[in-house]
Amino acid sequence: MSTTEALPTQSQKWVRSITQGIIAGIIGGIVFGMMMAIMNMLPMVAMLVKSDSPIVGFIVHLVISAGIGASFGIILSFVPVKGRIGTIASGAVYGMIWWVLGALVLMPLMLGMANMLFQIGDTQWASLMGHVIFGVITGFVFNMLDKRA
C-alpha cells in the first residue's frame, strides 16, 4: 500500500497564501503599531472610525494590516518570488506602495484632508520607515510560513 499526498487544489493554495498573509500582516502590524504608539499616531488612525482612542486606532491598524497581508499573500501566489531575500524585498516594496496609497492618499482623503495629499514632512518620512519595516517583517514571516519557499 502506497501513501501519497494529494496535491493541493488551486483554492487550497489561495486559502493557504491568504492565511499566511493575514498572519504575517498582523505580526508586521503589531510591530508597526508599537512604533505608531510611540509616535502618537494611533489616534489619527482611530479617526477613520470616528474615535480618537489609541486602542481603537491600534485595532483599526491591525485590521488594515491583516487585509494588506492577505493581499500580499494573493500577489505572491501569482508572482514568482524566490527565497527569503526575494520575499523580504517584495514585502519592503509592498510596504512602500502602501505608504503612498495609505499615508499619502487614502488617509488624507478619508479624513477630509485633501490639502494633505502627497504632502511629505517629518511625520510622513517616519511613516515611510514604519511601512517599510512592516513590509520587511510581513515578508519575513510570510516566508517562514510558506512551505513553497
DSSP 83-97: HHHHHHHHHHHHHHH
Distance, first Cα to last Cα, the chain: 30
Residue 8, pLDDT score: 72
The residue whose grid cell reads 515611510 is: 128
pLDDT confidence of 91, banded at 50, 70, 90?
very high
Q: Does 107 score more than 80 pLDDT?
A: yes
Q: Is the pLDDT score of 98 beyond 70?
A: yes
Q: Which of 6-20, 32-46, 80-94, 119-133 has the lowest mean pLDDT?
A: 6-20
Cell readout for 44 is: 489619527
Q: What is the pLDDT of residues 18-60, one digit of tens each?
A: 999 999 999 999 999 999 999 999 999 999 999 999 999 999 9
Question: Between helices 122-145 and 10-38, what is the axis angle to 10°?
Answer: 140
Q: What is the DSSP letter of 148?
A: T
Q: Where are the beta strands (DSSP E) in 22-144?
A: none
